[in-house]
Every structure is written in structure tokens, then in C-alpha cells.
Amino acid sequence: MMKNLPASINDAISAPGIYIGIMSGTSLDGIDVVAVSFEPKLQLHAHCSFELPALIKAQILTLCSSGEDEIEKLGHLDVGLGKLFAQCCLKLIKQSDLHLAVDNIVAIGLHGQTIRHRPDNSPKHNFSLQIGDANTVAEESGILTVADFRRRDIAAGGQGAPLVPAFHASIFHSNSCDRVILNIGGMANVTLLPADTQQPLLGFDTGPGNVLMDAWVQQHLGLAYDVNGDWASKGQINPVLLQKLLELPFFSQPIPKSTGREQFNLAWIELALQSLSDNTRPVDVQRTLLELSAVTICQEIQKHKFANAGLYVCGGGAHNQLLMTRLQQLLPSGKSVSSTADLNLDPDWVEATAFAWLARQTLLGLSSNCATVTGARGERVLGAIFQA
């Protein structure tokens, strides 16, 4: 049932339509934009990834940790990102072979750029902050925009993350077999999809995905990321360093749990390295960081008795061949590890598609969080609507 929506919005969603989803994640490796429809089934009409300008990326990283004049910097970047997100949406429409028209788009689902995530900051107030002003996106694009998905869940006692498990359940669930959907972005998160719908849907962050490997290779080789894990493959696992990193309480913390750059960053690596000898090779650190991601992902899957389920990977980590190999090796022999392409959605576009779906849920007045995932007091309609 549609709830308290203006007539123009009700008209827009009364028939199947196209939604744009836009995602800029923790990895800061680009802005992913998709145009999708969900009726009668999911159809990906157009997609594109846009490079995040170096200056914008540097400004985001500056705001990811405490510093001087934060409010002034945040205010300017909030509007600047809003303009950039709108430009990306309009470029997708213009470049599309379908010649999509703005009038044919129901809404934009905007995740925004996370600059701080404090889901468990007791006794202080919990919060999660995404920027990229939705008012600016709606004004510049001329398209109704839905954004600010996380904070209602937090207001209801949840962690505001991860939000994608409900979407995963809607399109990836199987009645015949258990599945695990693993997103490896900056952070790694899993959705555990039991075939039996009477069992609870679970999803949570396992820890770092690409964020530590990306930061380390950037510092030592000047590369944005380690293509295929090629550099890591030349190194050796440092067992002392790996064990020290695994001692972090987050890894043994019960669910619900979510995390971000606040915990997993270069400073944390450097602190762990202080107890090691000075001759630790950077390439060995890179190999160890890859192993950390693989081990913590697989430990959580096994802990929740989903080790025998099929594992389907999405996000940038799906292209890291060494990481994919290690996941296969660490899970029970014979169990498949593949990408969500095997489930008919390319791994590069799953996250952006999820936020298009979240926008649709908002406009339909339907809940899109999952209390068993975030720890919220119940299901809630997420997101705020910004009319064009």
C-alpha cells in the first residue's frame, strides 16, 4: 500500500518503471550507476562506472578522519558530490543505447558517500553519515531522488548496515539450496540466505575487503589497487602479523556488526607492524592483508554453519583472482565459489542495483531493512524523498 505519498509520486510508480541506482563505496574506486527495472523481473537496462576525480577522492579521505575545519570542508564537498552524482546519472542516460529520457526515470536511489560510520559508539549516540546532497541531485538532474537510507534504521536501534541483505534475498534466494552472497568492496559483508524461509535472514560485515590492500599498494607502489592480487602473489604470509591483526575484538564480536575505515586503515596496520622486525617486506604485508580478508570472511561463514552453501561474490574483490582462490581453498572442498554473474547479475553492478531497489521500496511504502541483520527494533521504511 502506498503511504502518504504525493499524487505525482503515486502516478510515477503506478506502472513498472526504470530506476537509477548510484553507488560510491568505501573503496573510493569509482561511481557506479545503473538503470534497472524490477517488473516483471529484474532487468539491467544500462550501466556505467565513472572515475572519482583525484581531488574529490582526497577530500573524502580527509573527512574520513578528524581534522581541522571539518564543517566547512563537509559543506562544500556535500554539494560538490551532489553535482557530480547528478552529472553521472545524466551521462548514463545520454550514453545509453536505449536513449533513456529523464521523464522515463521514476527515481534515483542514492547511497551517498560514507565519511563516518559509528554504529556502536555507546555511551554516545550512534550515527552513520553519508554526503552528496540529495537536494542538489534532484535539482541538477530533474529526477526525483531517494536518499538517506541508513539513519532511520539507526534511529530504530539498528546499525544502519548492511542494507543490501533484503535486496539479496529478493533476487538471489533459492528454495532448493542455501546460498551466501559475499560483497567484497572496501569492507566485506555477507548475506546468509537459507533455503528455508522460516529461518532468519542474516547479514553482517566480516571486516576488511579491499580497503587495507588498496591503501597499502597505493602507499608503496602508487597504484589504486593490486590488479588480480598480482603483487600479493609475490609475497609470503607473515604469520606473526596475521595473528596480531586477527586479535582485533571486532572479529570475535557477535552479530549484528558493521564497520568501516574508522577501524581498518593504514594507521592500524602501522601499529601492528611496530612489534615486528624492521625488515618486514611490504610485499609480504600485502600478502598478509589479503589473507586477513580471506580468513575473516571464511571464519564467519563457517561459524554460522553456511560453509556448505554456494558462495557468490560481488564487488571489486570478485576480480582479485588470488583472493577468490584463497576463498575456494579455505572453504570445504568441492563447494562452489563463483560470482553473482552465475545468478544473472554482474558482480560490478549489484550494489548500485540494490540502491535502485531501495528507492523503489521507499516509494512503495515498503520496508527495506532487516531487523535480524541490523539489530533494529523492527522493519522500517527507509529513505527520504527529494522531489525534482
Q: Comparing 1-5, 59-63, 115-119, 237-241, which segment has the lowest mean pLDDT?
A: 1-5
In the predicted structure, residue 302 carries a pLDDT above the cut 90: yes
Max avg pLDDT among 7-21, 88-102, 113-127? 113-127
Supply the DSSP string of 241-298, one letter for each residue.
HHHHHHT-GGGGPPSS----TTTSSHHHHHHHHTTS-TT--HHHHHHHHHHHHHHHHH
117 φ/ψ angles, rounded to the nearest 5 degrees = -135, 110
Express each pLDDT in 286-296 by its tens digit.
999 999 999 99
Please name which of 209, 151, 168, 153 lies closest in space to residue 26, comparing C-alpha atoms.
209
pLDDT in tens, 324-345: 999 999 998 767 899 999 999 9
Q: What is the DSSP letter of 180?
A: E
CA distances from residue 267 to 132, 274, 380 in whole angstroms, order as listed: 27, 11, 36
Length of the chain: 388
Beta strand 202-208 with 187-193 is antiparallel
Cell numbers describing residue 311: 558462495
Amino acid symbol at 4: N
Cα gap 118→120, rounded to integer Å: 6
Question: What is each CA distance from 268 to 26, 121, 289, in whole angstroms?
Answer: 17, 19, 12
Per-residue confidence (pLDDT) for residue 88, from 0 to 100: 96
Q: Degrees (nearest 5) of the Cα angle 321, 326, 331?
A: 130
For each of the domains in the chain, give its residue range(s) and CATH number, in order of start.
7-160+349-386 (3.30.420.40), 165-335 (3.30.420.40)
Radius of gyration of the chain (CA): 20
Helical H segments across 96-224, by residue range: 134-141, 150-155, 165-172, 211-221
Q: Does residue 3 surpass a pLDDT of 60?
A: no
The tens digit of pLDDT for each residue in 244-258 reads 999 999 999 999 999
pLDDT higher than 60, residue 5: no
Q: How far, in Å, CA of 226 to CA of 232, rounded?
A: 7
Would you state the pLDDT for residue 1? Answer: 31
CA distances from 387 to 61, 88, 107, 288, 363 (A): 30, 18, 9, 48, 11
